[in-house]
Amino acid sequence: MMNRTKCLEVLKGLITDEIVISSYSTASEWVEMTDRALNYYSHGAMGLCSSHGLGMALALPHKRIIVFDGDGSLLMNLGTLVTIAAAAPKNLVHLCFHNGSYEANGGHPLPKRDVDFAGMARSAGVKHVHTLDDFRNFEQQIGGILKQEGPVFADLLIEQGPIGPRAYDDMYKPARRQKLREVLKAGG
């Protein structure tokens, strides 16, 4: 099992001009680490992070889209794996931070903690599928995974993070979405 914060620190060093779409626990850590205009936070959309990512990938084929999803969130919208595979956007990387719980809702366990998300993505027809549970392997492989032609799915087996109040209001400010729109209109 890996530590999400450490994984995000590695990702922070690799992500440059890609759009990052995230929600809930991972998003709250990501915004604290790197408050950038190309971050998009899925407000009140548990289960739809991957769908937002697919929509952006199709609408912006010239931009790399990286989704930071949660396992509880993905469970709420498993059909997205089939839809992503069918649409086959070459610019989409879907990372599932898998800790076996609905962390953002108090850490309640998933009905089945050891869900094989990679197996589901593979069965759905996603082009490149990975499972990472060792931090050293993550550090060595994630750079290459982020550059693979999509769709790409990676199941990142992590420890549960802190269960505590999160500052979602700041993350979901309309000004953040406006900045993203401005950057995209300017060709970014």
Q: Is the pLDDT of residue 101 over 90?
A: no
Segment 73-92 mean pLDDT = 96
Average confidence score pLDDT of the chain: 90
The DSSP secondary structure of 53-95, one letter per residue, reads HHHHHHH-TTS-EEEEEEHHHHHTTTHHHHHHHHH--TTEEEE
For 44-69, how does the pLDDT look when each residue is reduced to its tens digit (9 = 90+)?
677 889 999 999 999 999 999 999 99
Which range has highest mean pLDDT (17-31, 99-113, 158-172)?
Answer: 17-31
Homologous superfamily of domain range 4-161: Thiamin diphosphate (ThDP)-binding fold, Pyr/PP domains (3.40.50.970)
Beta strand pairing status for 101-102 and 92-98? unpaired
Note if the pTM is more than 0.85: yes
Q: From the centroid of its chain, how far is CA 3?
A: 15
Tell me the domain boundaries of the chain.
Answer: 4-161
Beta bridge partners of 2: 158
Q: Is the pLDDT of residue 170 over 90?
A: no
